[in-house]
Amino acid sequence: MKPKSPLKVAAKPAKEAAQDADARLYQAIFDGVLNHRLTPGTKLPEPELCQLFSVGRAVVRRVLERLAYDGIVVLRPNKGAVIAEPTPEETREIFEARRSMERVLVEFAVHRATAHDIKELRRQLAEEHDAMHRFDQPSWARLASDFHLRIAALAGNSILQRYLTELVSRCSLIVGVYEPPGHAPCEHDEHAAIVDCIEARDAAGAIARMEAHLRELEERLETSRMRGEKSLGQLLGMS
């Protein structure tokens, strides 16, 4: 009897493969911003991105245009793309918008979070605590952003959640460069206080804690901080 030939795995349609490539590149740059590896002014040369991600220029340009639309990248005519560098006025407006957004989201979360949701927030706080004591700044930065996005998810409004995701990424650009080191412990305590209010169903307290937390974060910014010199691959965590 002739042996059966092995099953062949169907190749992904070209459109689906292109979407995967777009998503992979977008997420790498987006995560690089959230993790504070890609700081404002970092150049994103098209040839290097093509080589790092094994994609064509059409993919790179499409993703950079999307990032520019989201306010994460600036496309400079004849000079290429760079991570956006918010001005002091833009910084004020971004934080103002974020405070307004998170006041609404944390109030919704207070009313809609389940006991399981509270348990997951406590687990998030434990991970933050662990990263803080390991002096693992990249993990801390990611977890700090994730904390706010997790609360947004609990609010149960996908539109507001999407808007906050963009604001958090843009704040991460600013914080990654301008916040002085050594503030993880106080931020962790601020997060814990917000969770306490959510668990107690104290909407007014949660709103006040979130407002104070974000104002303190903005007030800590030091625009004199300098950027380091690393290759794009290193900044994306790929080399």
Per-residue pLDDT tens over the stretch 74-87: 999 888 999 988 88
Residues 101 and 136 both lie in one domain: yes
User: Is it the case that residue 111 has pLDDT exceeding 60?
Assistant: yes
pLDDT at 88: 84
Q: Is the pLDDT of residue 125 over 90?
A: yes
At residue 99, the pLDDT reads 97
Q: What is the CATH number of the domain that holds 57?
A: 1.10.10.10
Instruction: Determine the pLDDT at residue 226.
Output: 42
Q: State how far Cα 19 lies from the chain centre.
A: 21
Same structural domain, 76 and 92: no
Domain extent, residue 28, equals 15-84
pTM over 0.75: no
Residue 190, both tokens: 């601020």
Indicate whether 226 belongs to any domain.
no
Confidence (pLDDT) at 20: 87
Q: For 30-76, what is each residue's pLDDT tens digit? A: 888 877 788 888 999 999 999 999 999 999 999 999 999 888 899 99
Q: What is the CA radius of gyration of the chain?
A: 20
**Per-residue pLDDT, 170:** 84
- The whole-number pLDDT of residue 205 equals 98
Residue 7 has pLDDT above 60, yes or no: no
8 found inside a domain? no
Answer positive or negative: Cα dihedral of 146, 150, 155, 158. positive
Give DSSP secondary structure letters for 59-101: HHHHHHHHHHHTTSEEEETTTEEEE----HHHHHHHHHHHHHH
> Is the same domain home to 57 and 119?
no
The answer on 204 and 122 residing in a single domain is yes
Q: What distance in Å separates the CA atoms of residue 166 and residue 67, rounded to the nearest whole number?
A: 10
Which of these, 144, 151, 153, lies nearest to 172 by C-alpha position?
Answer: 144
d(CA 188, CA 18): 39
What is the token pair recorded at 101?
């957004």
- Give the best-scoring range by mean pLDDT among 127-141, 160-174, 199-213, 216-230: 199-213
Residue 9's pLDDT is what? 47
Domain co-membership, 31 together with 66:
yes
Residue 4, in any domain of the structure: no
- In degrees, rounded to 5, the angle at the alpha carbon of residue 220 between the alpha carbons of residues 140 and 145 is 30
For residues 217-225, average pLDDT: 74
The strand pairing partners of 81, in sequence order, are 44, 75
| Span of 68-72, 188-192, 201-205, 222-226 with lowest mean pLDDT | 222-226
Q: Clarify whether residues 172 and 210 are in a common domain.
A: yes
Q: What is the mean pLDDT of the chain?
A: 85
**Residues 64 and 92 placed together within one structural domain of the fold:** no
Same domain for 118 and 208?
yes
In this structure, the answer to whether residues 132 and 176 fall within a common structural domain is yes
Q: What is the Cα–Cα distance from 175 to 211, expressed in whole angstroms?
A: 17
Can you give the pLDDT at residue 6? 52
Phi, psi of 44 (to 5 degrees): -125, 75
Return the pLDDT at 206: 98
Distance CA 49, CA 123 (A): 36
Question: Quick one: average pLDDT of 103-119?
Answer: 97
